[in-house]
Structure formats: structure tokens, C-alpha cells
Amino acid sequence: MAILLALLGVVVVMAVVVKPVLTGNPPDLSLPSLPGFTPEPTPAPQGHQAAPTQATPRLTVSKTPTPTPTWSGTSKSLGYVAVETPLTTPTFTRLPEETPVSERLLTYATIQAVGGGTTQTISMPFPYWELHYTVDPWKTTFVGTTSSKMAGQADFFAAEVFPSFSIEVRDAADHSLVRKIEPRGGLDATLWEKEKDSDPRPWVEKFYEGTTTRSYYFVVHTHMVYSYKMEVKVPERYLGKY
């Protein structure tokens, strides 16, 4: 019996200690699993780190946005449409953070007519643009006779004329009033003929729109005006960028 126990001990030592050492693994001294008992996990030996589990990469499909065509630099002419504009509360344009430096301007759109009306919608992707306009009004005073001296004292009359002109800049999205424009100093063709330095034409209105692309249309009101011309101008540096 002693010899059998000794041989059994040698076999156990060989299986538990000697064989793992020869194969480069540490001796396995853990107890066998018993029914109904869950052993605690054995910590990994120092110097060995478990390889991290690699997650299966997910494939994502990104849609390439359709590029917005930029302005080629060609000026376009804006016509008029027949629409009824609802009355809304005026809104105000955001003031700029700084005054833009003087630079060359290009004509983006032109409006030229003899009477008032509502123009077509124009898209304005630029952060800054100007509206230049000029008006050719009637002269302010007309004098004429109403009867002949053959019938006695000739009658005459003097009619005072007051030309007027205004532009409503409206947002095409909700028809709100962005700005109402009227010529500063009024329309006095007689004064402009006498004093060339007093002619204020063309008048200039500046708009600062930030980075938001908006669309506008213009509602023009005229009274005793021969003709007028409006030009939407943008800085030359915007060419090919918007």
C-alpha cells in the first residue's frame, strides 16, 4: 500500500507541477469544480494581459450633399409679378459688427421701370449687399392758362406737384417688412437742375444679413415719377464663393 501511495503521489506531482513547468505554464493548484459551486475567477498572472475583445466595426453610409451653385458674376434683370402683400409688423436687419472696407461692387440684379408694382423674388445668399436706386421725378411746379384774353381777364392757375417714391423690402418666406426706403431729402428735380451739387442720386441702402441665406422681393410705390432704376450690388470678393 505504501508503494502504491508513493507512486500515486509521484504521478500527481508530475501532472500538477512538473508538466506545466516543462510547457511554460504555471502549476494548476485549483480545486476541481464541485456540483452547485461556482469558483471565483483566477486572476491572470503578472506580465500577461488578456487580449481586448475587438468590436465588429459598423459601416456607415454618408450622403454627399449637393453643392449649391455659386454666382457666376452675371447680372440678372428682375421683373414684376401681380401679388397681394399682407400688412405685417416691420422687422429689423441686424447691425454689422464692423463697417466693411471700401471695395469694388458688382451688380447682382437690376430693376428698371416707369411705374410701381411687386417684383419677382430674388435669392440673397450674401452676408452683405447694397441697394442703389435713382429716380427721375416730375418738376415740382406747373403753371398754365385756362382761358383767352379775348374774353377779358385771362385766368391762370399754378399747380404744385409733389412727387414721391418708396421701396418696401419684404422677406419672401413670411412677407414681413424688412425695411421701407424713401429718398432722403425728397424729390426736387427743379433744385437739382439749378444746383448740380444738390443732386443726391443715386441713393444707397446697405444690408447686413450675416450667414443666413434669405429671399426677398420689392414693393415699389411711385407718384408723379417718369422712371426709376434699382441695382442690387455685392462686393467683388463674393464672386464664386456664394
Model pLDDT for residues 96-109, shown as the tens digit of each residue: 555 556 789 999 99
Total domain count, the chain = 1
In a domain, 89, yes or no: yes
Residue 218: HSE in the Cβ half-sphere, 13 Å Cα cutoff? 27
Question: What pLDDT does residue 56 have?
Answer: 60
Integer Cα distance of 74 and 235 in angstroms: 13
**Whole-number average pLDDT of the chain:** 78
Residue 126 is assigned to a structural domain of this protein: yes
Q: If you ran DSSP here, which 8-state letter would residue 151 be given?
A: G
- Residues 113/218, Cβ–Cβ less than 8 Å: no
Residue 44 located in a structural domain: no
Q: What is the pLDDT of residue 205?
A: 97
User: Are the C-beta atoms of residues 237 and 174 closer than 8 Å to each other?
Assistant: no
Alpha-helical segments (H) within 14-157: 19-23
Judge whether 125 lies within some domain. Answer: yes
Does residue 216 form part of some domain? yes
pTM beyond 0.75: the answer is no
What CA–CA distances, in Å, run from 4 to 1, 13, 155?
5, 14, 156
pLDDT of residue 133: 98
Mean pLDDT of 17-26: 63
pLDDT in tens, 54-113: 656 565 666 676 777 788 888 888 888 876 655 565 555 555 555 556 789 999 999 999
C-alpha closest to that of 239 among 125, 135, 142, 141:
125
More confident residue, 84 or 180: 180
Cis peptide before 39 (omega within 30 of 0): no
Looking at residue 126, its pLDDT comes to 93
Domain that holds residue 137: 76-147+156-238
Report if residue 2 sits inside a domain: no
CATH of the domain at 101: 2.60.120.380
Q: Does 97 reside within a domain?
A: yes
**Low-confidence winner among 27-41, 99-113, 163-177 (lowest mean pLDDT):** 27-41
pLDDT confidence band for 137 (50 / 70 / 90): very high
In a domain, 26, yes or no: no
Higher pLDDT among residues 168 and 153, named by residue: 168
Across the range 129-140, mean pLDDT stands at: 93
What average pLDDT score do residues 186-196 get?
A: 90
